[in-house]
Chains A and B, each alone.
Chain A
Amino acid sequence: MMDFLNYSQLPFIMFSILAIQAMSLQLILGGTGLLSLGHAAFYTVGGYTSAMFTVFIAPLIGIHDTTLLLICACLIGMTGAAFTGLLVAIPCLKLRGDYLAMATLGVGEIVATVFKNLDFVGGTRGFKDIPKLGSPLLIFSIMLVVCFFIIRFYKTNLGYAVRATRDDEISARSLGINIYKTKLISFLIGSSLAGLAGVFYAHTLQFISPDEAGFYNSVVLVLAVVIGGMYSVMGSIFGAFIIVIIPEILRFIPQLINPYLIFMSEKGFLLPSLIPVIDSILSNRTLIFSVLVVIIMLLNPKGVASLFERINKMRKTNE
C-alpha cells in the first residue's frame, strides 16, 4: 500500500499542475477564442523566475521561512509570466485566428532559446537544485482555487465580455465592449496562472529545463483543453486527468494481456511468433495513447463536457 502511495504521488502532482495549466489555457483558448500555441512558454518563465528568486535572491534578503518563501515565489513567478504575457500580447493580439497561433508558436521557441543561453541558470542542462516547496495537497487545493476562480470569472462582467468577444467581435463592440482590452486582460490572467503552475512544477521537481517551453508541451496543453471540451473549465481538469493518468494505466496493459495471448496461442488462434510483436506494440505507450486520443476526438468532438450535456438531455426527454 505504501508503495502505491509513493508511486501515485508524482502522477497526482503532475495531474494537479497540468490541470492548472490547462485551465489557464482554457481561459485563453475556450474563453476568449485565441489559439495560443506557446502557452508552455509562460509556464516555463514562471518556473524560472521563481526559481531564480528562491535560489539567488531569497538567501541575500534573508527569507528562510518556507511559507513566506513559497508565497513570494508564487507572486514573483506569476508576475514574471504575466509580464512575458504582456510583452507577447501587445503586438500579437492584433492578429487573428491562425496568424495568432503562428506568432505564439514562435514565442515558445524564443523563451527556450533565451533560457538555454543563460549560463547562470544552467543553460541547456537545465536549472538544478531548486529548494523543495509545497506539498501535493497544497498543489491540489491551489488547483481547486484556480478552478473556482475561473468559474466565478466567467460570471463577472469581464467574463461575459470575454465570451462575447469570442463569439462575435463586431456585435461585442456594438454592445460597448473594448475588444483589445478584454483580450489583453484574459491573456494576462491566463499567462499568470500558467506561471503559477510553473512555480509549483519547478519547486516540487526541484528542476526545470528550457525544453519545457517547447512546442510539444504547448500542444499537450491544447490537447488537454480540447479533450475536455473547449467551453468547460471542469472539462480541462478532466482532460489533464486523462493525459496524465492514461499513460500510467497503460504501463500495466502488456502484463495484463500477456497471459491471454499465450492462452490464445496454445488454443491455436494466434501464431506464437506474433506474441512479441503485439507485446511491443502494447508497450509503446505513446502510440497507444495517441490512438486513444484520436478515438476520443472521433467519438466526441465537442469533448467530455458535451457528454454530460447529452446525458442531461437524455434524462430530460425520458421524463
Chain B
Amino acid sequence: MNNNILSISNVTVKFGGLVALNNFHINVRQGGISGVIGPNGAGKTTVFNIITGVYRPNSGSVKVNDKELIGIPTHVIAHHKVARTFQNIRLFANMSVCENIMSGACIKREGTFLSSLFMLPNSYKKEKELWKKANKLLEFCGLEKYKDSPAISLPYGMQRKLEIARSLMTDPSLLLLDEPAAGMNPTEKLALQELVKRISEQKISVLLIEHDMRFVMNLCENITVLNYGSVIAEGPPEIIQTNHEVIEAYLGSDIEDDFNIKETLNASR
C-alpha cells in the first residue's frame, strides 16, 4: 500500500496528429504539495483535464486513492474528492460570494431536495452546518467583507481566492490549482502562498501549475517539468533548479534570474 493520493502512469493524449502528453507520469503524496511547470503549450493544463475527465487519454492510467478514474464523467469524478480551479477564472457571475461557496456543497446536499424544500428539521440542521462551514471558509480565505456582494464585483486576487474556497467546499482530498498566482502582484502572491500552505496543513494534497518560479520553488516539495508533452525532469526544487535541460527549455524567457543560474554556474566551476 503506497501513500500516493494521485498516481498517473504512462498517459498519452493525442489531438489528431498533435501529441499533447507523451508517456506522462506523476505521483502526489498524501498531504503534499507538488507542482507541474513548463513553457506555454507544454501540456500542463491537459494534465488537469485528464485528471478531471474532460479529456480521455489514449492510453495509461489515472488513479486517485487507488481508484481508476479514466472513463468516468467529470461530475462523478468530483465525488472521488477531486476539486480544481481554472486558469481563466470561472466563477458563477450572477451569484453572490456566499452562494458561490454554497454551490460547492451540491454533492453533500444530494438527495435532500424535498426535505430542504419544506425545511424539514434534519436538512435544516445539515444546511446550518454547511453555512457554518462556508463562513469558516470565507474567513479562511479572507473574504468575509465581500460576503454578500456579487462574485464579479470582487478584485482579481479575491476572485482567485473565492474559486479556491468554492472548490474547498466540496471537501476535496486532492486540490488542483491551475495557475493560481497568474496576474497577481507580489503581496497577493505571498498571501496566496500562505493560503496554499495552510490548505496542505489540513491534509489536502495540492497539485499546482504555475509560471512564477519563486512561488513554485517556495511551495512545492516535488516538481515535474514538462516540455512538448514529455517529462524532462522531476524531483525536489533544488534538483530542478540545477537541471540543464530545464534551463534550456526555459531559455529565451526571463526566467533565468529565478533559477539562480549564476549560483549553479559558480558551483560547477
Which residues does A use to contact B, with CB under 8 Å?
Answer: 149, 152-153, 155-158, 160-161, 163-164, 166-168, 170-179, 231
Cross-chain contact B170 with A163 (CB below 8 angstroms)? no
Q: Given A163-B94, A167-B94, A168-B91 in contact, is the A175-B104 Cβ separation under 8 Å?
A: yes
Cross-chain contact B86 with A171 (CB below 8 angstroms)? yes
Cross-chain contact A175 with B109 (CB below 8 angstroms)? no
Residues from 111 to 169 in B contacting A, C-beta threshold 8 Å:
112-113, 116-119, 166-167
User: Would you mind naming 29 contact pairs between A and B with Cβ atoms under 8 Å apart?
Assistant: A149-B117, A152-B117, A152-B118, A156-B109, A156-B112, A156-B117, A157-B105, A157-B109, A160-B99, A161-B106, A163-B95, A163-B103, A164-B95, A167-B91, A167-B92, A167-B95, A168-B90, A170-B90, A171-B91, A172-B103, A173-B75, A173-B78, A175-B83, A175-B104, A175-B107, A176-B78, A176-B107, A177-B106, A178-B75
Contacting residues, chain B, for A158 (C-beta < 8 A) = 113
Cross-chain contact B167 with A175 (CB below 8 angstroms)? yes
Contacting residues, chain B, for A179 (C-beta < 8 A) = 75
Cross-chain contact A174 with B106 (CB below 8 angstroms)? no
Q: Given A156-B116, A163-B99, A168-B92 in contact, is the A176-B106 Cβ separation under 8 Å?
A: yes
A167→B92 CA distance, assembly (Å): 5
A149→B104 CA distance, assembly (Å): 23
A176→B167 CA distance, assembly (Å): 10
**Interface check B205, CB cutoff 8 A:** no
Residues from 56 to 96 in B contacting A, C-beta threshold 8 Å:
74-76, 78-79, 83-84, 86, 90-95
Cross-chain contact A163 with B116 (CB below 8 angstroms)? no
**Interface check B224, CB cutoff 8 A:** no
Nearest chain A residue, comparing its CB with the CB of B104? A175
Given A163-B95, A171-B91, A171-B92, 18 new contacts (CB under 8 A):
A155-B116, A156-B117, A157-B109, A160-B105, A161-B103, A161-B106, A163-B92, A163-B94, A163-B99, A167-B92, A167-B95, A171-B86, A172-B92, A174-B78, A174-B86, A175-B104, A176-B78, A178-B75
Contacting residues, chain A, for B76 (C-beta < 8 A) = 176
Of A158, A161, A171, A174, the most chain B CB neighbours within 10 A belong to A174
Nearest chain A residue, comparing its CB with the CB of B92? A167
A153→B114 CA distance, assembly (Å): 9
Scan B190-230; emit 1 where CB is below 8 A from any A CB, else 0.
00000000000000000000000000000000000000000
**Interface check B52, CB cutoff 8 A:** yes
Contacting residues, chain A, for B92 (C-beta < 8 A) = 163-164, 167-168, 171-172
Nearest chain B residue, comparing its CB with the CB of A152? B117
A161→B110 CA distance, assembly (Å): 10
Contacting residues, chain A, for B86 (C-beta < 8 A) = 170-171, 174
**Interface check B246, CB cutoff 8 A:** no
A170→B90 CA distance, assembly (Å): 8
A186→B99 CA distance, assembly (Å): 19
**Interface check B26, CB cutoff 8 A:** no
Nearest chain A residue, comparing its CB with the CB of B163? A171
**Interface check B102, CB cutoff 8 A:** yes
A155→B106 CA distance, assembly (Å): 11
Contacting residues, chain A, for B99 (C-beta < 8 A) = 160, 163
Choose among B93, B112, B170 the residue that contacts A175 (Cβ–Cβ < 8 A): B170
A163→B167 CA distance, assembly (Å): 17
Q: How far is the CB of A54 from chain B (nearest CB, A)?
A: 29
A173→B76 CA distance, assembly (Å): 9
Cross-chain contact A157 with B74 (CB below 8 angstroms)? no
Cross-chain contact A231 with B94 (CB below 8 angstroms)? yes
Contacting residues, chain A, for B170 (C-beta < 8 A) = 175-176
Contacting residues, chain B, for A156 (C-beta < 8 A) = 109, 112-113, 116-117
A178→B53 CA distance, assembly (Å): 13
A23→B41 CA distance, assembly (Å): 46
Nearest chain B residue, comparing its CB with the CB of A156? B116
